[in-house]
Amino acid sequence: MLTQRSRYALRAMMFLAEAPPGGPPIPMNRIAAEANVPRKFLELILADLREAGFLHSHRGKMGGYCLSRPTHLISLGEIIRVIEGPLALVPCVSRTAYRSCKDCKDEASCAIRHAMMRVRDETARILDGTSLADSVAEQLVAA
């Protein structure tokens, strides 16, 4: 299940994606209010996203945040991985944090592992194939 922290991150990033490219930085207070994210959580989330290279931050009275890349080059999967870590539900199918399961006798024939690998692959395909631009466009169509 997607954590509240990931949902906050996605909402904040979608709000930033709606801002005109090249526009002024958006203050954290405005992002928090518009994306309905508590400021204390948003501060930590935006710091993680900035460190991952998705955001630029600007200090000062006219400071705030803006996206570092065009919206079509940032996927939902990338955002979730920054906040949550690997998409895999079990460690033995993770591409970035592989660990063998302690109670598994034979990975090659493990039915659970094979099923979870399909889940991981389909989840990654959908989330990595959905950009912020796609999400914002879907949001506008739904409204």
pLDDT band at 141 (very low <50, low <70, confident <90, very high): low
Q: Residue 34: phi, psi to the nearest 5?
A: -70, -35
pLDDT over 70, % of the chain = 97
pLDDT at 139 over 70: no
pLDDT band at 143 (very low <50, low <70, confident <90, very high): low
pLDDT at 128: 95
pLDDT at 5 over 80: yes
pLDDT band at 93 (very low <50, low <70, confident <90, very high): confident
pLDDT at 22: 86
